[in-house]
Chain A
Amino acid sequence: MTDPIIKFDAVGKRFGSVTVLDGLDFEVAEGEKVTIIGPSGSGKSTILRILMTLESISDGVVYVGGEPLWHERKGGNFVPASESHLREMRRLLGMVFQSFNLFPHMTVLRNLTEAPVRVLGLSRAEARERGLELLDMVGLADQAKKFPHQLSGGQQQRVAIARALAMRPKIMLFDEPTSALDPELVGEVQAVIRQLAEEHDLTMLLVTHEMRFAREISDRVCFIDGGRIREEGAPEEFFTNPKEERTRDFLHAILADN
């Protein structure tokens, strides 16, 4: 295996007196599709939010593309990262949120072009062309001029996926992308993510409660509880023959729910 594109090295995260991540060790190889599952409050979303630099870490080191994310190297030592270092590192990552977080005052196309123009320095024309291609990919080319509130939740989430892709990230983070959707809209969003997983060499990290979907698209499934990875493995093995008691309990509870 080549160097991992994501590496958590004994990462701790505390909110006040609450420990969310507890000496977490975790690696993802380039191009790998990894699903993180676990009970709520287990820290699975926190892993994504730390990678997207929306939450800082309390202990340890996170590496992205071999570089420390929350630190900078200075004379052989690690010092806390500056905002410019974080800005540079963020370019590698894109994130899709549970609540979409589209910009409600911008048209669908403008949602996709704003950051490429401002951050990557693309011309409006280039950004539009690229934006329309991406909208076509998620099946929404005809919705370019609408505003987000005119779309269904499933359509909004597909736009949000296209918006993240417009920044050409190497790593895509999906934070419960279908949890806020009506059941009949889940499928269309999953189809887009599945297509991405199959046709692109993107590294993908997915937090979800949809076990069947996790099984379909992942190279590896990680079960996290109490801020640590308790069990991980290829989806077939993981779902049919979980080793740990906790994993079995969790899968049992969540599959009984569905």
Chain B
Amino acid sequence: MLFGIEWDTSDNLTFAISILPILMRGLWVTLQAAVLGFFVAMVLGLVLAALKAVPARIVSWPTRVIAEFLRDTPLLIQLFFLYYVLPEFGLILPAFLTGALALGLQYSAYLSEVYRAGIEAVPRGQHEAARALDLTPRDTFIRIILPQAIPRIIPAMGNYLVAITKDVPILSVVTVLELLGVARIIGDRTFNYLVPLTMVGGIYLILTLLASYGVRRLDRSLPKTGIPLK
């Protein structure tokens, strides 16, 4: 029994059907962690990308170091750091929030590169026209460059959303009851790992296929010239 739901181990199919609602609880947590983490990554990634693009080295250089650090150290280490080390400094967050934050931090570094590529793909003439019209660097970035960069980066963003979802199982090591964690508990208690783990794999496969399809659809429907401003 988990989350108040009983399972039936009489045969594999009955067992599978009986644990499906339990796995769905885990899936819900997985999706929440992925979405929250991705939201953190999108906001923080944009900040990192903007700071990296600042001409003054005193701003851009430390930002590069931080982004590089976040990208090049394993997610598990960052997660352990947040979960075990931060409490020593009096900052105690629930496991779920810690996990989502760790995902968001690491992916912000990836997404900052996606933003950067999208921003650099906007032709130089756009910057020059904005400068000739005396727009401030801030207005140029927000109103001219970003609306043209965003449609270009949506496909890459979608791929990272899928990737972050596939990284959520790592959170099970700090006691977050997401999909894989739930499946393992079921295995531990019933000595049947085959069924729950196979189901987790299947659920992930369906999820990823759906997401890829969604991203392709979204990409096709996006205006190629940028987010329209009337």
Interface residues of A (CB under 8 A from B): 52-54, 87, 90-91, 93-95, 97, 99, 101-107, 110, 114-115, 118-119, 145, 147-149, 163-164, 167
Roughly how many angstroms separate A52 CA and B131 CA in the complex, as a whole number? 8
Choose from B131, B132, B134, B144 the contact partner of A103 (Cβ within 8 Å).
B144
- The proximity string for B residues 143-157 relative to A, scoring 1 for CB distances below 8 Å and 0 otherwise, is 110011000000000
Is the pair B135, A54 in contact by a Cβ cutoff of 8 Å?
no
Interface size class of B (residues with CB under 8 A): 20 to 34
Question: Which residues from chain A contact B147 at a C-beta distance below 8 Å?
Answer: 105
B126 within 8 A of A: yes
Question: Which residues from chain A contact B148 at a C-beta distance below 8 Å?
Answer: 104-105
Roughly how many angstroms separate A115 CA and B131 CA in the complex, as a whole number? 10
Is the pair A90, B125 in contact by a Cβ cutoff of 8 Å?
no
Is the pair A103, B135 in contact by a Cβ cutoff of 8 Å?
no
B68 within 8 A of A: no
Roughly how many angstroms separate A94 CA and B136 CA in the complex, as a whole number? 16
- The proximity string for B residues 110-142 relative to A, scoring 1 for CB distances below 8 Å and 0 otherwise, is 000000000000010110110111111001000
Is the pair B225, A119 in contact by a Cβ cutoff of 8 Å?
no
Known A105-B148, A105-B225, A147-B228: A118·B126 in contact at CB below 8 Å = no
Question: Which residues from chain A contact B229 at a C-beta distance below 8 Å?
Answer: 103, 105-107, 110, 114
B214 within 8 A of A: no
Roughly how many angstroms separate A163 CA and B139 CA in the complex, as a whole number? 17
Choose from B125, B131, B133, B225 the contact partner of A99 (Cβ within 8 Å).
B125
Is the pair A105, B133 in contact by a Cβ cutoff of 8 Å?
no
Is the pair B125, A97 in contact by a Cβ cutoff of 8 Å?
yes
Q: Give 22 A-B contacts (CB < 8 Å), ordered by A residue.
A: A52-B128, A53-B131, A54-B132, A87-B134, A93-B132, A95-B132, A101-B123, A102-B129, A104-B226, A105-B225, A105-B226, A105-B227, A105-B228, A106-B229, A107-B228, A114-B133, A114-B135, A114-B143, A118-B136, A119-B136, A148-B225, A149-B225
